Amino acid sequence: MFPRIREITDAFGGKLRVSVEEHPSGALVVLERPDVTGRPRILLDGYGTDVLAGYIMSARLAVPHALPEEHVDGTFGTRFELGLEPRAALELTQEGDAKLEIPAPFWDRLYAELCLVAAHARELARRAEARVH
């Protein structure tokens, strides 16, 4: 079943790849833009995935107004920001890596996909914990 990979395409041919990969702690959610130069990539643990899902909904409610940034700590620390110019987009940044931009046309499908992958990630984490004990 894993890795689990889904690709979201917008009306203009933009792509966002969402995958779940096994990890010693359980699972990671990987976000990639294969259509963008440099193929930016963000790794999220369960905490980061949950915050991103909430931030997507907050951004949808905030646009066209600003939204304070969010930050998650830990091994996969990530900063979440809402950019409004030249168009509404989520901007995800991890230490030392390029920024991953997720334009608004991806948000609804990404939110739905995060709900699914979060469940898979929690189950993989539960199985990893069971193997340790």
Number of compact structural domains in the chain: 1
Residue 88 lies in a domain: yes
For the segment 36-50, what is each residue's pLDDT rounded down to a tens digit? Answer: 888 889 999 989 999
| Residue 132 domain flag | no
Domain extent, residue 62, equals 5-126
Query: Nearest CA to 57 among 91, 104, 12?
Result: 104
The answer to whether residue 133 sits within a structural domain is no
Is 90 exceeded by the pLDDT of residue 52? yes
The answer to whether residue 50 sits within a structural domain is: yes
The CATH number linked to 45 is: 3.30.2450.30
Interatomic CA distance for residues 7 and 100, integer angstroms: 15
**pLDDT higher than 80, residue 132:** no
Kind and range of the H or E element at 128?
Answer: helix 107-132
In a domain, 84, yes or no: yes
List, for residues 91-120, the tens digit of each pLDDT value. Answer: 999 987 768 999 999 999 999 999 988 887
Predicted TM-score (pTM) of this structure: 0.88
Q: Is residue 82 part of a domain?
A: yes
